[in-house]
Structure 1
Amino acid sequence: MIEALRVRDFRLLWTARAVATFGTGLLIVAVPAHVYAVTGSVLATGVTLAFEYLPALVLGPFAGVVADRWDRRRLMVATDLLHVLAVCVALAARTPETIWLIYLAVLGQGSAAVLFRPAAQAHTRAAVGDGPALTSANTLNAVTTGVVALAAPPAGGLVFALLGIEAVVGAAVGASLVSAACIARMSVRVRERGLPQRVLADLRDGLGHLRRTAVARGLLVANGVYLLANSALTALLVPFGVTRLGGSLQVGYLLSALGLGYLIGAPISRWVAGRFGVRTAVAAGQVLVAAAFALMFNAGSLPVALVAAVLLGVPGVSVLVAVQTWLQRNTPEELLGRVSAAFLTVEAAVTLAGALAGPALSEFSGLPVALNTACAVTLLSALITFWLVPRRAAAVELT
C-alpha cells in the first residue's frame, strides 16, 4: 500500500476519497434519526432510506458517461460542492411539514456521490498508471473504504445524539470541502471529450464492451450475487448480535474485528491479486467469505464469532481488489467510467435488494435460516465466478 502513497496525485485522491466517504457515512444514521425525531414516523424514516438508493439506481449508468466525457478532476470537485449544498438543505427541515426538504437533500447528496465514485475509480489509473502501484492503490482504497464504512455511521449517530443534526451536517460539509481542496491540487487531467451528444449511444458503447468482454461480464454477474448475499448478511448482523451474542456492545466488537480483518488482509490481497488469475482470486475469496460468515453466524460464543469476523475481512478485501484492479487494467481508458458505473449501479441495486430480502426472510422463516441461506448464496457466487469467468483470464501483473 505504501507504494501508491509515494505518488503525490494519488495521495491527494486517496485523502479526498477517505474524507468524503467519512463525511457521507456520518449521515447514514444521523439523517434517518433526525427524520424520526421530527416526525415520529417509521414510514417517513423508511422513505428516507429509499431515497438514499434512488440516485444510484437512476443516475448510475449516466454517471459513467459523464466521467468518460469530462475532466474527472473537475467533475469530482463539482460533486463535492454539490454535496455541500445538498446536505445544508437538511438543516431547514424542522417540522413534519418541511420534512420533504430532507428527501430533497438526500437526493442531492446521493446524486453527488453517484457522480463522484466512477470518476474517482477511473481516475485512480490516471494517477498511478497501470503498473504495480495500481494494485497497491486499490488495496489501500478497499481497506480505507471498509474501515471508514464501519466507523462513520455509528460516529454520526453519536454526534447526532450529543450535539444534534447541525453538528453532523457541519462535519459532512467540512469533509466535502477538504475533499474538493485535495482534488483541486491534483495535476493529472484526463482529456475532455465534451458533453455527450448521444447519451444512449454512449451507454450502448459501454454495455457493448461488457457484452463483448467475457471476463468483465462474468465478474459483473458473480459480483452482483456476492454483494446481494453480503448485503443481506449485513442487515442481519445487528439482530444476530443482539439475540445470539448478548447485545449491541457485542455487535460493536464484531465490527471492530471485521475492521482488523481488513487491515490484515491488505498485504495479502495485493499478493493474491498478483499471484493468481482473477477467476481464481475472486472465487477463492468468495468461498472463504462464505465459510467465515457461516462460522460467525453459527458460533456458540463471542470469541469464535470475533475470530470469524477477522477471518472474514481478509478474503473480503481480496475480492474487491482483484475485481477492481482487473477492470482498471483491462478496460479502455475512454470506457472506464462507464464500466465502473455499471458495476456501481449493480452494487446499489443488489445492496438494496439484499437489505430488504434478508430481514424479510428472517421474519418468514427465522433468523438462523435467513443467515445460512445468505451464506449459501455467497458460496453460489463463487460457483458463478468459475462458470462465467474464463479460465485463462489474466492475472494482475505486479512487475
Structure 2
Amino acid sequence: MSALLARLLPNTAPWRDSRDFRLTWTSGTVTMLGSIFTMTAIPLQIAHLTSSPLAVGAVGAVELVPAVLFGLYGGVLADRADRRTVALVTEVALAALSALLLANALLGTPAVWPLYAAAGVAAALQGIQQPSLDAMIPRLVPHEQLVAAGALLSLRGSIATVAAPAAAGLLIAGAGVPAAFLVDLATFLVSIALLARVRPVPSERDAESPQLGEFVEGARYAARRPDLVGTYLADLAATVFALPTALFPFLAQELDAVWALGLLYSSAAVGSLLAAATGGWTERVHRHGRLVLLSVALVGAATATAAVAPGLWAVLLCLTVAGAAHWIGDTFRSAIWNQSIPDELRGRAAGLEMLIGSAGPALGDLRAGGLAARQGILAALRTGGLLCLGSAAVLPAAFPALWRYDQRAHGREPSPAESTP
C-alpha cells in the first residue's frame, strides 16, 4: 500500500530543490487565493445589479481584447526583459486595481461600469505578466523535473480554487462584497513581498526594446508544429464549450440552491485537487498528446451529463469529474510546451498559450451567457458539453502529430529549424 501511495503522490522535488521555484509557487498560491475572492465578487455584483445572465457573461468579452493585445506584447517582453521584474511590476499594478475595486464597493450603490473596466484592465495586466511567469519555470527547475513542476503548479491552482470560492461566498454573505476586495488586496501585498525575493531571470537575448512584430516569429514556430497547434485547439474546445462558470449564479437558482453557489464554483477545483494529489502517475506517461485529447473527451462528457443530472449533488459530482479532466489536460499540455519549446522563443510561446487560455474562458462565458438567455441554463450546459465531446472526436484525426507525441523524443530543446516536420 505504501508503495502504491508513493507512486500516486506528486513529486515535490522541484519545490524542495529550487528556492526560487518555491518562492514563485508560494507567491502564485497567495495571489490566486485572493484573486478568486474578486472573481467571485464581481459576477455576484453584476448579477445583483442587472439580473442578467448576458451581463455576467459579457465580462468575458470585456476581458478578451485586452488579453489578446497585451498578451502578444507580454510574450515578446518575456523574451527581452528580466522575467522576474515583469512579474513583480505587474503584481504591484494588480494590487492597485484591487484597491480601486474596494473603493467602488464601499459606495452606497456600486457603479457597474468600474466592474467591467477592472476586468479589462486586469486582463491586460495578466496578459503582460503571465508569459513571464510561465517562461520562468524552465529556468528555475531542471529539464527532468518539468513534468513534476507542472503538476505542482496545477496543484497550486487546485488548492486555491477549492479553498477560496466557498470562503469567498461565506465572507461576502457575512461581511459584504468590500471584504472580498480587501482580502484580495492583502494577498497581493504578501505575493509582492515573496516575488521580490526571487533572483532575477534575465533574458538570454539582447536587451533591445521589444517589438510587437517579434511575436510573429513565435507564432510561425508554433504553426510549423501541428502537435502544438493541436494542444491549443484542445484547450479551446475544453474552455469555450465546457467551462460554464458564467452560468453558476443562475444554475444555483435553477437548482433551488442559492446557498450552494460557492460549491458550484469550487467543484471543478475539487476534482483538480483530487487529480493533482494523486498525480504521481503522470511522470510515468510518455504519450502526453493522447492524455490531452482524452481529457477533452472526459470534460465534454461530464459537462453534458451535468445538464441532465438529477439534483444538486449529482451536478456537483459531474463538475468535479470535469475538473479532474481539466487538470489532466492542463498538466500534459504544460509538459509538452515546457519540454519542446526553446528558451529564446519561450516567452512568445507562453504569450500565445496565455492568449488561448484567456480567450477560451472569455468566449465560453459569452457563449454560455448568450445561449442561456435564449434557451435556458440547462440547454446551454448540455450543448457546450456535447460540442466539447464532438471536438474530442475530431482532433485526433485532424492532428495526428499530437496523438503520436512522445516526450521521450524531447530530451533536449529543439531549435526552430529542427521543429519543421
Normalised by the length of structure 2, the TM-score is 0.81
Residues matched between the structures, number? 394
From 334, 337, 345, the equivalent of 1:327 is 337
Q: Note if contact 1:22-1:148 (Cα within 8 Å) is conserved in structure 2.
A: yes
From 211, 214, 217, the equivalent of 1:199 is 211
The alignment status of 1:88 with 2:94, answered yes or no, reads no
Change (3 A) 1:329 1:300: same
Q: Note if contact 1:273-1:395 (Cα within 8 Å) is conserved in structure 2.
A: no
> Counterparts of 1:186 and 1:137 in 2: how far apart (Å)?
17
Q: What residue number does 2:188 align with?
A: 176
> Counterparts of 1:97 and 1:242 in 2: how far apart (Å)?
23
Q: What residue number does 2:128 align with?
A: 115
Q: What residue number does 2:371 align with?
A: 361
> Counterparts of 2:227 and 2:98 in 1: how far apart (Å)?
39
Which runs of structure 2 are paired with 1:224-373 in the superposition (5 Å)? Answer: 224-231=236-243, 233-243=244-254, 245-266=255-276, 268-272=278-282, 274-373=284-383
Q: CA deviation at 1:77?
A: 1.1
Q: CA deviation at 1:322?
A: 0.3
Q: What residue number does 2:150 align with?
A: 138
Change (3 A) 1:207 1:251: same
Change (3 A) 1:325 1:161: same
Q: Note if contact 2:301-2:386 (Cα within 8 Å) is conserved in structure 1.
A: no
Q: Note if contact 2:71-2:354 (Cα within 8 Å) is conserved in structure 1.
A: yes
The letter for the 1-side match of 2:88 is: V
Q: What residue number does 1:125 align with?
A: 138
Q: Is there any run of 5+ residues in structure 2 with no aligned partner, and where?
A: 1-9, 412-421
> Counterparts of 2:28 and 2:311 in 1: how far apart (Å)?
37
The letter for the 2-side match of 1:111 is: A
Q: Note if contact 1:56-1:345 (Cα within 8 Å) is conserved in structure 2.
A: yes
Change (3 A) 1:302 1:96: closer
> Counterparts of 2:260 and 2:109 in 1: how far apart (Å)?
35
> Counterparts of 1:260 and 1:60 in 2: how far apart (Å)?
29
Secondary structure of 1:236's counterpart equals helix
Percent identity for Structure 1 against Structure 2: 25
> Counterparts of 2:328 and 2:351 in 1: how far apart (Å)?
21
Secondary structure of 2:407's counterpart equals coil
Q: CA deviation at 1:23?
A: 1.9
CA deviations on 1:140-171 (whole Å, 9 max, x unpaired) are 22132134235434544543454455543332
The letter for the 1-side match of 2:190 is: V
Secondary structure of 1:173's counterpart equals helix
Which runs of structure 2 are paired with 1:156-171 in the superposition (5 Å)? Answer: 156-164=168-176, 166-171=178-183
Change (3 A) 1:169 1:211: same
Q: Is there any run of 5+ residues in structure 1 with no aligned partner, and where?
A: none
CA RMSD of aligned residues (A): 3.2
The alignment status of 1:214 with 2:226, answered yes or no, reads yes
